[in-house]
Structure 1
Amino acid sequence: MFKFAIHMSRSTEMTISIVLRLACALAIVVSITAQRTSVQAQQRGGTAETEKVQPVNSGPNPYRVIRDWAQLTLEKRPWGGSNGVAIDRDGKSVWATDRCSPGIAPGCLGTKANPVHLFDETGKEIRSFGGGMFVWPHGIHVDRDGNVWVTDARVATAEERIKFPGEDKKGSVVVKFSPDGKVLMTLGRPGVKGDPPDALTEPNDVITDPSNGDVYVAESHTNVEDPNLVGRISVFDRNGKFLRVIGKTGTGPGEFRTPHAIEFDSQGRLIVADR
């Protein structure tokens, strides 16, 4: 309540008192509403500021953000840059890759951190593996048998080879793991960029044909201004035998600059995202 050091009639005092009470009540309601909105936004994974963002279209959005859903509790470390996620055969568990250290450019060189992670449907980390094997984990895929495929999208730079001696025999490969982390197959030659069947060039993503198990690898992660830019899809059979190349570098029909992600649709058609 407020007191005023002025002379006024009793009716005027009552009117002012009522107005002030209403103003205070309104302020409390506004404060509670704002706090509730903030809490609801945080529960949805956003902040009060994100609530102000307008949708880009009028379509319904059945999804909500759950920030910090999965944490790397087994190694008790923060996430590195992450580019790969896949759903397990059970339809609930989630596989993901990270680059071992925070940021975009840093990768797994010089660490023994595991970059391949499995989480249950609640976000609890079940297992991790792949430590000491990768430079820059990128794509991840779970095949029809539950095996896990991971691409390593670059090799060590000249500076990194000096900084991390002995780490030059890593990168630019696709590795097939069993669900418990056993290496079943490696496509490409670790640490070497080149052409199949002997080598791969900075593979971005990998997918297997659900009908016959053939393996499709999207290459490469090379800068598009590089005169030696590689853009192609390399195909292997389920045993790792090289079969053919789809497409070539360029900007015309059937040509690629940086095929960054690949997927099969329900009709068996291969979909390529060319960045």
Structure 2
Amino acid sequence: MKLKSSICISAALVSLALYVLLHSDGKHKVRVKSILDFLSPASPQLYKLDAGWPRNPASIKGVPYDVAVDHLNSLVYVAQRGDNVSKVLVFTEDGYFKTAWKTNTLDMPHGIFAVIDEDIKSIWITDVGQGPYGHTVKQYSPSGSLLKTLGTPGIAGSRLSPLQFDQPADIFIKGEDEVYIVDGDGGMNNRLLKLTDDFSLQWILGGNGTKPCQFFIPHSVAVDDMGRVWVADRGNKRIQVFDTFLGEYIGSWDTCFLEDGPYSVRFTADKKYLVVVQLNISRMLFLAVPPVGGIGDCNVVSTIQMADGVRPHLVDINVRTGSIYVAELGAEQVHKYVPC
């Protein structure tokens, strides 16, 4: 076990060194001193950087905001922003560029989520733009054809009938009939919605504030297998957890986020850890997931300190291989971390 751990640590350091060499000029400039801070000496290292992903970093010409993994077809979808760039790029799991969507129905993608099983294949994107397609949550085919739009395109609002959003940040779909949306990147709504399979409202929580069930810029949402909804309450520097059935408050974590709020919530493939990134301090945390019921106190099991200015935003997990993909605003790149 000690030998495996040492090999993993060495490989992680070599990977970061390669990262520095590969991205030492232009917009990907990083500081070599960050190598010294790459690993937390007090915690085990669970993941290491795959410095060869993507194979051609220049294929990402915009700023990637989120990433979604299709584990059945070994594909990775990257949602990016920028002038004269495709808003969604598709890569193979090995990091080779495959295709770019040609859709013109996206203003500013924020969150992206892949619904992949044997019968249903679709890509959901939250659009925070101020243009004619913004303030919506949209469903696309894997090739980029628009299938469905939730919200009122181009109009920010709080109404539930017809449904309106104000820069919805993230979506998570569980099973066949549970749709969760955090609506609050614009600061107006600060709410969590649960929709049914026909997209009618089942329950809603929120309001701007610091009390339980209130939010300040809810940024990411995920659901575990124990009937709990996890929300990155970014502005309040905490994670709140609710029951999926009625939306009842279970608990919150804030002691892990004194330096910067949580930007992502996703579970590792083995469901043991919650993966959280902190954008302003370029850090990725692995938090122990408690068993069914109350969540107790926040427990950081491992950390990865990225280079200064990388600014990780949102992540996704390959549930088959365990790999983690991180969309980075500062580095303007997506990077892959693999289990040690």
Change (3 A) 1:130 1:200: farther
Deviations 1:256-275 (A, max 9, x none): 11110001112231110011
Deviations 1:187-242 (A, max 9, x none): 011110012332211100001122x332211111125xxxxx32101232223333
Aligned counterpart in structure 1 of residue 185 of structure 2, from 221, 231, 254? 221
Using the TM superposition, give the Cα deviation of residue 143 of structure 1 relative to its aligned residue in structure 2, in angstroms: 1.7
Q: 1:51 is matched with which residue? A: 35
Aligned counterpart in structure 2 of residue 88 of structure 1, from 35, 48, 70? 70
Q: Is the 8 A contact 2:16 2:49 kept in 1?
A: no
Aligned counterpart in structure 1 of residue 128 of structure 2, from 153, 156, 163? 153
Greater radius of gyration (CA): 1
Q: Is the 8 A contact 2:103 2:144 kept in 1?
A: no
> Aligned letter for 1:222?
G
SS at match of 1:51: helix
CA distance in 1, matches of 2:56, 2:88: 10
Change (3 A) 1:63 1:46: farther
CA distance in 1, matches of 2:56, 2:182: 28
Aligned counterpart in structure 2 of residue 231 of structure 1, from 190, 193, 201? 190
Change (3 A) 1:239 1:54: closer
CA distance in 2, matches of 1:154, 1:89: 29
Q: 2:229 is matched with which residue? A: 270
Change (3 A) 1:72 1:206: farther
Q: Specify every segment of 5 or more residues in structure 2 that has no aligned partner in the other structure, as ranges.
A: 1-10, 22-31, 235-340
Change (3 A) 1:230 1:49: same
SS at match of 1:174: strand
More strand by share: 2
Aligned counterpart in structure 2 of residue 201 of structure 1, from 143, 149, 166? 166
- TM-score when scaled to structure 2? 0.55
> Aligned letter for 1:190?
P
Q: Is the 8 A contact 2:182 2:192 kept in 1?
A: yes
1:62-211 equivalences in 2 (<5 Å):
62-67=46-51, 69-70=53-54, 78-90=60-72, 92-101=74-83, 111=84, 113-129=85-101, 131-144=103-116, 145-155=120-130, 168-195=131-158, 196-198=160-162, 199-210=164-175
Using the TM superposition, give the Cα deviation of residue 127 of structure 1 relative to its aligned residue in structure 2, in angstroms: 2.5
- CA root-mean-square deviation: 2.7
CA distance in 2, matches of 1:243, 1:146: 24
SS at match of 1:45: helix
Change (3 A) 1:272 1:65: same
SS at match of 2:121: coil
SS at match of 1:271: strand
CA distance in 1, matches of 2:63, 2:88: 12
Q: Choose between structure 1 and 2 for higher RCO, CA contacts under 8 A separated by at least 6 residues.
A: 2
Paired residues in the alignment total 208
SS at match of 2:149: strand
Change (3 A) 1:175 1:274: same
> Aligned letter for 1:273?
A
SS at match of 2:48: coil
SS at match of 2:63: coil
Using the TM superposition, give the Cα deviation of residue 124 of structure 1 relative to its aligned residue in structure 2, in angstroms: 1.2
- TM-score when scaled to structure 1? 0.66
Q: 2:29 is matched with which residue? A: none
CA distance in 1, matches of 2:56, 2:126: 20
CA distance in 1, matches of 2:165, 2:35: 45
1:60 counterpart = 2:60: no
Change (3 A) 1:92 1:50: farther
